[in-house]
A = this chain, B = another copy of it.
Amino acid sequence: MHNLVDFPARIFYIESSSLQAARVRLTQGEVRKDMSAGKREKILKAAISVFASRGFYNAKMEDIAREAGVAVGTTYLYFENKDDLMISIFEEEMEPLINRMRENMATKTTATEKIATFIHSHLTFVERNPDMAHLLEVEMRFCSQFILGYHGGRFKEYLDLISAALVEGQISGEFKTAIHPSIFKQILFGAVDQIATNYTVSKPKRTLLSSFADEITSVILHGIAK
Contact = CB atoms under 8 A, between A and B. Distances in A.
Interface in A136-151: 138-139, 141-142, 144-145, 148-150
Nearest to A52: B1
A2 B201 CA distance: 11
A202 B150 contact: yes
Contacts of A57: 7, 57, 142
A197 interface: yes
A194 B202 contact: no
21 contacts: A4-B203, A5-B203, A6-B54, A6-B55, A7-B53, A7-B54, A55-B142, A138-B144, A141-B142, A142-B142, A166-B224, A175-B226, A176-B226, A183-B215, A186-B195, A187-B194, A187-B216, A190-B192, A190-B195, A191-B191, A219-B220
A225 B174 contact: yes
A215 B180 contact: yes
Copies per complex of this chain: 2
A38 interface: no
User: Chain A, interface size: which category?
Assistant: 35 or more
A212 interface: yes
A112 interface: yes
Given A57-B7, A141-B142, A186 B175 contact: no
